[in-house]
């Protein structure tokens, strides 16, 4: 027997038993304040040692405050009964304390925490140690925090003017001025905002600069929350740095401000971060506007505008995620845990009503149920969208350095992000399986003949279409190229990109001085020859020679006149001009046959897909088809109008030839799918996927057809 076991035998768990049977107590220095929420008296209680806040009813708080660690359960029950005038026994008080104990409400010293930790099992201790490790979950890496309360106590009296009316009016005027500059330069700022947050073209230096500026902006944002918390009368015990999916973020403990402040002060705490970012933007915008381009100050101010401008405002004001906008919405409608309550209600309702699981639906007032359901659906969809964007963000950054292996970090981040969601889905599927397996087994066991008949029917009925799909680029069915029939200099352009023209309408005017001079001289020579012919006819001298000369000059003049008419370029069809920057060609010289403009009839578009020779047996002329354009909702119906009789070269932009390495590349046949009335904002150049449907077949028919094709190709 070693020394540890000997001590355990000699001193059997005396401290542990004492702690387990000790009456709990409230932490000294606890902060609390009464609030009215949803028409009820609520007490918000904040514990500085843990940084946690609890919401108790007025009656629960009056009972909890009697626990001082000295009174027994019986004494507390007797004292509370005298205060309320109702009878409470020792067992009821004990159960109340046990419920709060499970929520971590009661105060424990460090020694008591260590003793309780020893009483836990090995697995529970491992879980707690893992939870304390900041790098155990890469989705949220926290670093040691510091206490900024002393600095805020010094700073707040000197900056209290930030919450005065005159300063608020001044900042609103600055916001309006910055907004006016932004709107007047929106064509530039809007484009650059999209490019700024698109990481496909960022270098390592750009990402490093963005990280540094992002840390500064987030620090200002969180420090504004801390300052507003001090304004509400609360302490700020912790402020630290974290990486949320490797993105820099600060966190600030403003819980005591939520306890001490009223509703308007809590709104100010939530709004302070966005307000501070807008103040930075209102300073950076005029600096960018006034400074010279290509200077460090100009570029730095523009970066700050991108970080603190429209996108930051939209993200932070969005109430669908637990950011500033969400907390402001909760304060406005008076529901403290909107996302949790709405998600719990909708999840339980679906499990109970749809999956018929034995789950209790939380009570929600009838007037709130539609709002809870709508908010849970929208917030869930938006959260998954943001998580998907985070994974794509990692892929975009990786593609700058290794396009071939960029999918590894992208899929790795996606797995990390969705790991908890996948685990929840697996657990839900297990729950459904355990709840339904006995009934499903009993149903199948009692109806084997019916099940076999259903399976046989599914195998024989022609329910499924043969189909083949392919990528396409929309192009107009009717298109014409306006070319220069004679050389010349572009003197004038009458249309621009997007102009609607009719057949024969002028497109451009060319100038060719030698040609125009020669045509004028030909007309003059023709007039002189005509005069000589008339004179010869009257005098009956050399009339034949004069007539022959006039006919020759007439043909020459007509040819030159036609060439001169070709200097005015006209549209050969009615349609829309597709050529961009057409007016930029004014003053340029065009050779004969040079392309000037493209005119297309957009009333009818065409999608062309390339079908390999292996799938041609599925396609026939007139076969129905469905087209889906990337980035749009819905599908367009079409029919295969034409199938090329001979194999054609596939469009390299639609088919990736690298996937055929090591194989004999198949030959492709083009299939045209017209859209006579596209509508829906479809334009030439849009890409998408089309699927052409063949005959309907049964599962057995698919198997026979597949076997026939394989045997026909390999055995002959």
Q: DSSP letter string over 579-593?
A: -TTGGGGTT-EE-TT
- Please enumerate in sequence order all residues whose Cβ is within 8 A of that of 106, keeping only pairs 6 or more positions apart, or say none: 24, 25, 26, 67, 97, 100
Q: Give the pairing of strands 464-473 and 500-501.
A: unpaired
Residues 157 and 216 in one domain: yes
- pLDDT at position 244, please? 62
Q: Which H helix or E strand runs over 19?
A: helix 14-21
> How many folded domains does the chain comprise?
5
- pLDDT at position 635, please? 83
Beta-bridge partners for 473: 687
Domain stop point among 132, 157, 191: 132
- Judge contact between 686 and 629, C-beta under 8 A: yes
- pLDDT at position 168, please? 92
Mapped to the 3 state alphabet, what secondary structure does 544-576 carry? HHHHHHHHHHHHHHHHHHHHHHCCEEECCCCEE
Residues 328 and 376 in one domain: no
Q: Domain of 190?
A: 141-334
Does some domain include residue 128? Answer: yes
CA-based max dimension of the chain: 156
What are the 10-residue block averages of pLDDT along the chain, 716 residues in total? 43 47 79 82 84 85 86 86 84 85 77 54 48 52 81 91 92 92 81 63 68 82 91 88 66 86 89 91 91 82 81 78 87 86 91 87 89 92 80 68 68 76 85 82 75 80 81 84 87 86 88 81 79 74 75 80 83 86 85 86 84 80 86 80 74 56 65 76 82 83 76 63
Residues 328 and 347 in one domain: no
Give this prediction's pTM.
0.60
d(CA 240, CA 435): 45
Residues 53 and 103 in one domain: yes
- pLDDT at position 406, please? 66
d(CA 254, CA 236): 6
- Please enumerate in sequence order all residues whose Cβ is within 8 A of that of 482, keeping only pairs 6 or more positions apart, or say none: 507, 508, 569, 570, 571, 572, 595, 596, 597, 598, 599
Domain stop point among 548, 564, 590: 590
- pLDDT at position 169, please? 94
- Nearest CA to 488 out of 524, 516, 449, 523 is that of 516
Does some domain include residue 8? Answer: no
Say whether 39 sits in a helix, a strand or coil: coil
Does some domain include residue 275? Answer: yes
Does some domain include residue 463? Answer: no
Residues 665 and 583 in one domain: no
How far out from the chain centre does Cα 176 lie? 28
- pLDDT at position 372, please? 92
Residues 20 and 106 in one domain: yes
d(CA 247, CA 241): 11
d(CA 358, CA 353): 10
- Judge contact between 584 and 496, C-beta under 8 A: no
- pLDDT at position 663, please? 47
Residues 156 and 273 in one domain: yes
d(CA 714, CA 568): 62
Residues 269 and 358 in one domain: no
Residues 147 and 248 in one domain: yes
Say whether 197 sits in a helix, a strand or coil: coil
- pLDDT at position 123, please? 45
Residues 312 and 169 in one domain: yes
Does some domain include residue 672? Answer: yes
d(CA 443, CA 446): 5
Domain stop point among 287, 302, 334: 334
Say whether 436 sits in a helix, a strand or coil: helix
CATH code where residue 671 lies? 2.40.30.170
How far out from the chain centre does Cα 627 lie? 24
What order do you get walking across the sheet with 636-639 strand by strand? 464-473, 687-697, 624-629, 636-639
Q: Give the CA angle between residues 398, 404, 407 to the nearest 5°.
A: 55
- pLDDT at position 259, please? 87
d(CA 11, CA 22): 19
Residues 438 and 497 in one domain: no
d(CA 348, CA 534): 107
Residues 628 and 664 in one domain: yes
> How many CB atoms sit inside 10 A of residue 488's CB?
25
d(CA 568, CA 515): 13
Does some domain include residue 198? Answer: yes
- pLDDT at position 499, please? 85
d(CA 283, CA 291): 13
d(CA 673, CA 668): 16
Tokens 């768990």 correspond to 13
């Amino acid at each position: 027997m070693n020394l540890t076991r000997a001590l355990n035998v000699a001193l059997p768990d005396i401290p542990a038993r004492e702690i387990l049977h000790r009456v709990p107590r409230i932490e000294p220095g606890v902060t609390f304040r009464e609030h009215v929420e949803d028409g009820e008296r609520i007490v918000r209680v904040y514990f500085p040692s843990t940084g946690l806040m609890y919401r108790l009813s007025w009656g629960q708080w009056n009972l909890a405050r009697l626990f001082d660690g000295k009174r027994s359960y019986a004494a507390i029950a007797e004292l509370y009964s005298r205060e309320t005038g109702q009878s409470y026994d020792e067992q009821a008080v004990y159960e109340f304390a046990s419920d709060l104990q499970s929520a971590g409400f009661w105060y424990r010293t460090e020694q008591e925490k260590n003793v309780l930790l020893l009483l836990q099992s090995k697995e529970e201790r491992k879980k707690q140690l893992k939870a304390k490790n900041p790098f155990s979950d890469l989705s949220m890496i926290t670093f040691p925090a510091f206490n900024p309360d002393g600095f805020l106590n010094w700073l707040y009296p000197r900056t209290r003017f930030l919450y005065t009316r005159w300063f608020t009016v001044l900042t609103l005027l600055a916001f309006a001025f910055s907004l006016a500059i932004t709107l007047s330069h929106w064509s530039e700022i809007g484009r650059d905002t999209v490019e700024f947050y698109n990481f496909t073209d960022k270098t390592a230096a750009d990402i490093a600069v963005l990280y540094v500026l992002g840390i500064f902006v987030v620090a200002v944002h969180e420090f504004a929350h801390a300052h507003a918390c001090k304004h509400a009368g609360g302490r700020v015990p912790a402020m630290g740095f974290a990486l949320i999916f490797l993105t820099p973020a600060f966190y600030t403990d403003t819980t005591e401000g939520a306890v001490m402040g009223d509703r308007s002060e809590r709104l100010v705490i939530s709004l302070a971060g966005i307000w501070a970012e807008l103040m930075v933007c209102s300073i950076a915008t005029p600096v960018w506007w006034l400074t010279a381009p290509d200077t460090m100050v100009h570029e730095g101010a523009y970066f700050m505008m991108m970080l603190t401008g429209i996108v930051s405002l939209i993200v932070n004001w969005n109430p669908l995620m637990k950011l500033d906008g969400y907390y402001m919405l909760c304060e406005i409608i008076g529901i403290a845990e909107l996302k949790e309550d709405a998600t719990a209600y909708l999840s339980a309702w679906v499990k109970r009503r749809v999956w018929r699981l034995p789950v209790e639906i939380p009570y929600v007032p009838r007037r709130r149920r539609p709002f809870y359901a709508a908010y849970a659906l929208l917030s869930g969809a938006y959260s998954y969208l943001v998580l998907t964007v985070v994974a794509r963000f990692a892929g975009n950054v990786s593609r700058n350095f290794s396009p071939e292996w960029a999918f590894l970090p992208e899929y790795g981040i996606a797995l990390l992000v969705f790991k908890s969601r996948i685990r929840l889905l697996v657990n839900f599927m297990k729950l459904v399986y355990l709840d339904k397996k006995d009934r499903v087994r009993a149903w199948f066991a009692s109806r084997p003949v019916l099940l076999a008949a259903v399976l046989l029917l599914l195998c024989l009925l022609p329910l499924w279409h043969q189909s083949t799909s392919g990528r396409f680029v929309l192009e107009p069915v009717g298109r014409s190229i306006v070319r220069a029939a004679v050389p010349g200099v572009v003197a004038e352009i009458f249309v621009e990109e997007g102009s609607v023209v009719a057949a024969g309408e002028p497109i451009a005017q060319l100038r060719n001085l030698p040609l125009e001079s020669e045509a004028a001289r030909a007309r003059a020579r023709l007039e002189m020859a005509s005069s000589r012919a008339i004179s010869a006819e009257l005098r009956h001298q050399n009339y034949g020679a004069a007539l022959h000369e006039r006919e020759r000059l007439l043909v020459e003049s007509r040819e030159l006149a036609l060439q001169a008419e070709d200097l005015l370029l006209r549209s050969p069809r009615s349609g829309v001009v597709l050529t961009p920057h057409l007016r930029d060609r004014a003053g340029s010289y065009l050779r004969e046959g040079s392309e000037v403009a493209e005119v297309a009839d957009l009333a009818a578009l065409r999608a062309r897909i390339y079908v390999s020779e292996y799938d041609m047996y599925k396609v026939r002329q007139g076969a129905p088809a469905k087209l889906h354009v990337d980035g749009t909702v819905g599908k367009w119906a079409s029919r295969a109008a034409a199938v090329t009789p001979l194999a054609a070269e596939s469009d390299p932009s639609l088919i990736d030839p690298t996937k055929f390495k090591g194989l004999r590349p198949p030959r492709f046949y083009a299939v045209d799918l017209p859209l006579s009335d596209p509508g829906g904002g479809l334009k030439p150049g849009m890409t998408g996927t089309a699927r052409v449907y063949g005959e309907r077949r049964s599962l057995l028919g698919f198997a026979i057809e597949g076997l026939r094709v394989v045997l026909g190709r390999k055995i002959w």
